[in-house]
């Protein structure tokens, strides 16, 4: 009887933590790359800069990180174009984590040309 109760409790916890309860209120679901949810916090820590049509970013890798696993969304603020680098596919390798550099092609959008480029992602060194 005790074993059956523990099994039910474990099943409940796994279901509650799996994220299958719908979309949180603060996440944009429009599918548009030009929309960032104002309250959403980017989870991918990285150090990035924009140079000559490319976002060059230092990210955490387990050995299988590739640039095509990332996408870029943006939001226009008063004087800046804020980019968010999103990891679309996980790095499934089992190697010890290390910092790797990726380059993502991102042609300057017309609406960003007269603005400063900033990044919404938290820095690798922030902790």
pTM of the model: 0.64
Pairing mode of beta strands 98-105, 80-87: unpaired
- Residue 53, sorted as left (phi over 0), alpha (psi -120 to 50) or beta, turns out to be left
pLDDT per residue over 11-67, tens digit each? 333 333 333 333 333 222 223 333 344 334 446 899 999 999 999 999 999 999 999
Q: What does the alpha-carbon distance between residue 87 and residue 57 come to, in Å, rounded to a whole number?
A: 12
Closest Cα partner for 104 from 74, 76, 66?
66
């Amino acid at each position: 009887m005790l074993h059956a109760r523990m099994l039910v409790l474990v099943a409940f916890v796994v279901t509650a933590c799996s994220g299958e309860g719908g979309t949180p209120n603060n996440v944009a679901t429009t599918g548009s790359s030009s929309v960032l949810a104002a309250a959403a916090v980017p989870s991918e820590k990285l150090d990035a800069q924009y140079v000559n049509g490319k976002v060059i970013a230092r990210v955490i890798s387990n050995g299988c990180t590739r640039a095509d696993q990332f996408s870029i969304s943006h939001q226009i603020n008063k004087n800046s174009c804020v980019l968010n680098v999103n990891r679309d596919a996980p790095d499934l390798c089992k190697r010890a984590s290390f910092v790797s550099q990726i380059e993502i092609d991102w042609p300057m959008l017309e609406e960003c040309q007269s603005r400063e480029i900033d990044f919404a992602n938290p820095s690798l060194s922030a902790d």
